[in-house]
Amino acid sequence: MNISGIELTGLDITNNFISSTGITTSSLFIHLDASNPSSYSGTGSTWVDISGNGIDANISGATFSATDGGLFDFDGSTSTISLGNNSNLSLSTSAQRTIQVWVKFDTLPALNTNMPVFGKLSSGFGFDGYWSGLYSNSGLLRSVTNGTSVQRVLDSTSSISTNTWYFYTFISQISSTSNTTKVYINTTEYITGAHGSDSYNETNPLYLGYIGAGVGSTYLDGKIGACYFYTKGLSLTEITDNFNATKTRFGL
């Protein structure tokens, strides 16, 4: 598109912002990218949402590095990045949500413990909410989606390794219909199941590298380079498009 001699590329008319990364912009709600100089300068405590929706993340202890085009390093003991409670970050009965994270694990969790990529989980009755990441020292993926009365744990049968960048995609909806919760690594489906339809009341922040206060959460020991949050469930084609558009930066 050319307006008064100015060339605009990647314009998404629906969301009214310009994407220079080539990722899917339809229903993109939050876009965090450590490679974008306007989102983080290497100082300060805010990771700026570049979607145009102004939903910035708060940095607590995670440190910026210019490695791999820009990333945040999580120390495995205290560091987190958080987004304040927002209805579009909570799971819905009417539509799926998608979270995509470029993540590298420096270590695997200890035996029979969790290492979250992200979490939005209540410390109230039932621990309602969700989180996803690794479980135990074999590097299996785990997805946990809770209502106020039922906890649903889904584990992968395939494992992943340390010191490799992965494109981690989580999709879920409050529904007992099969395949309404999924986890992909790069473009391969590792987990599929149902969330369940029981009630859901959490209002906590969403954390990167942490599950949430009050639930005995462990911390991510690793790196995060970019995150994309969608108010719909992405198709495999869209997941593949996003992976292909960004994988070169992460050495894939």
Burial class, 161, CB count within 10 angstroms (exposed 0-12 / middle 13-18 / buried 19+) = exposed
- 51: tokens are 């979607």
SS3 of 89, please?
A: helix
> In order of start, what are the domains of the chain with their CATH numbers?
2-250 (2.60.120.200)
In this predicted model, what pLDDT tens digit does every residue of 208-217 receive, in sequence order? Answer: 999 987 777 8
Running DSSP on this structure, what letter comes out for residue 14?
A: T
pLDDT tens per residue across span 118-143: 999 876 656 788 999 999 999 999 99
195 residue type, one letter? H
**Strand 181-185 to 188-193 pairing:** antiparallel
pLDDT of residue 20: 53
**206 bridge partner residues:** 83
pLDDT tens, 63-100? 999 999 999 999 999 999 999 999 999 998 999 999 99
Entry pTM: 0.90
Contact 104, 222 (CB under 8 A): yes
Ramachandran region, residue 207 (left: φ > 0; alpha: ψ -120 to 50; beta: rest)? beta
